[in-house]
């Protein structure tokens, strides 16, 4: 190989390394920005889901208690 070919290959390898490094930094930055924007929204949604879950649990327990209170308190007698 001649000296010119070695210089071109060296520049090409340097360019590819720089491109790869820039891409990694860009991806990391974009990922941090997306995560930073979504985190408050996800936290708010989780709070809303927890509230809904608690309300549904309360409603189910209330309905269960209401149905149990409607049953006759007299025990069944078995005919033998």
Residue pLDDT, tens place only, 29-68: 988 888 888 888 888 999 999 999 999 999 999 999 888 8
**pTM (two decimals):** 0.49
Residue 54 lies in a domain: yes
Q: What is the mean pLDDT of residues 9-23?
A: 93
pLDDT of residue 33: 86
- Residue 1 lies inside a defined structural domain of this protein: no
Residue 50 counted as domain residue:
yes
CA distance to 11, 19, 20, 47, 52, per residue, from 7 (Å):
6, 18, 20, 60, 66
- In angstroms, rounded to a whole number, what is the distance separating the alpha carbons of residues 21 and 29? 12
Residue 47 in domain: yes
Higher-confidence residue: 6 or 74?
A: 6
- As for how many domains the chain has, the answer is 1
- Residue-number span of the structural domain to which 61 is assigned: 43-67
pLDDT tens figures, 59-73: 999 999 888 888 756
């Amino acid at each position: 190989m001649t000296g010119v070919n070695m210089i071109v290959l060296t520049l090409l390898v340097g360019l590819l390394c720089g491109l790869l490094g820039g891409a990694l930094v860009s991806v990391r930055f974009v990922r941090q920005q997306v995560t930073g924007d979504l985190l408050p929204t996800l936290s708010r949604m989780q709070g809303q889901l927890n509230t809904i879950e608690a309300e549904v649990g309360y409603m189910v327990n209330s309905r269960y208690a209401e149905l149990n209170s409607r049953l006759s308190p007299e025990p069944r007698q078995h005919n033998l």
